[in-house]
Structure 1
Amino acid sequence: MAEGSATADTPEVPVARRNPVTHTLTCKTDQSVKQASVKLRDVMVFLVGGAGDQERYYVDGPNHNVDYVREMVDADIEALEIKKYCTTLPLGYNAFMSEEDLEKNVIGKISNCNTAVYIIGHSLGGWNGAHLSAVLSDRGFKVKMLVTLDPVGHGKIVYGISKIYRQVPQPKAEYWVNIRAAAVDWNLSDVVADFGEQWEISAGPNVMGRLDINHADANFMYARPLPGGKSARQIVRESILKWTKE
């Protein structure tokens, strides 16, 4: 788990409005007393796409790369017979930069502060998703896992033309998996990733690895075994099962 705090570029997040009944289910920013029934052990998976993923990015997209990852997550949830406890939602990399968008697209989708939040981000979505893990953790949400699939965002030029956080992310999650795409045979997506500058991470993740996969192939990155033998897909699936069945 990488420790850190939200930077000056991190938007100020509105207080989460939830309906918990005990402090363990209450965001630490919400001190009011409430009475309501709350579903326990539920899961919210946010899949944050990169440039041109969920919407057009200049002349490219939408390509829906993280939608293919979502299909695998949904298939695993279905196979584990825990669909009633789990929700998956794709997001654009810039879908939570303002207070209004953060509340509408992220905070408003989380049932309560005991919900296990999983963030799977690709490319610019990996960079912004890592920031989102810190934003939610600082507000008292349970960020169970962060998965960054070849995160991109270090370049000054890409920051100038994209709605991303400027500072290097300081993720906050109980478990962090990071994958660096290092294809031997490049294609256009690798050129684009190189232009945006991949985030070279040397420490912090619980599991990390470099794979001979092109940058655009988020689904392959998610499914390919990493050092230690397990894929990000296996790690996420086992974590979700354990959470819902405890």
Structure 2
Amino acid sequence: MYATNYHRASSLADAARLQSSSDEAKYVSGGMTLIPTMKQRLAAPSDLVDLRHVPELKGISVSGNRVRIGAGTTHHEVSTSAELKAACPAICHLASHIGDPHVRHMGTIGGSIANNDPAADYPSAMLALGATIVTDRREIAADDFFTGLFETALEDGEIIVAVTFETPARAAYAKFANPASRYAMAGVFVAKAWDGSGRAAVTGAGSNGVFRHAGLEAALSANWSADAASGITVDAADMLSDIHGSAEYRANLVKVMAKRAVAAA
């Protein structure tokens, strides 16, 4: 691990100032991805700006049908929030199955979304819930935020402050987890809006990262049922293939997870 300078930000303005003071500074929240990457000497930021103590990034609130989760909220806090569980239990369930207890107590929703790992859980929830990513500069629709493997619409120095979304009529998440890492080999988040329309997003399986599945959304909008989900077509040509599973295997997993998610919802 290379030498780096550590800074503890006390506010969003302080964090932005500290980050802009160096061309090679990086923000760190839970550090679940950045710190291991630094240990492997695959990243060498000159400065680390710690966001864990920034009050503007904290908290969960539900106002009417609108949910707001601060970017610095840990997976454990999401999974155990009674207020959030009453509004959208699916996202609590998702958070409770991320990694292990250490990861859940340190990792944050903002860090996960900003990193956009192709096998991370939260990006699928953001897409399926039609969430808005709120930064210190603007608001970005989830459909426009995730742009590819480990790529997002964030600009240099931009900080995710919170995510917001409307409570769904129904929602659920099902994933087939890698037994070692607990990352999704295929995960499907489904959400039914109050107008009856369905949204669905897939993580862990796509060759270009998280994506919405148009065929599944059409099937669920017409008939919200596990049978409708099991009848979708998943093109193996669009799936990831690696040592953990072939593209054809993942294509089948997507159908199985979709059916399980709808049944759970």
Q: So what's the TM-score if we normalise by structure 2?
A: 0.30
Larger Rg: 2
Q: So what's the TM-score if we normalise by structure 1?
A: 0.32
Q: Which has the bigger relative contact order, CA under 8 A and spacing at least 6?
A: 1
Whichever structure has more strand as a proportion of its residues is 2
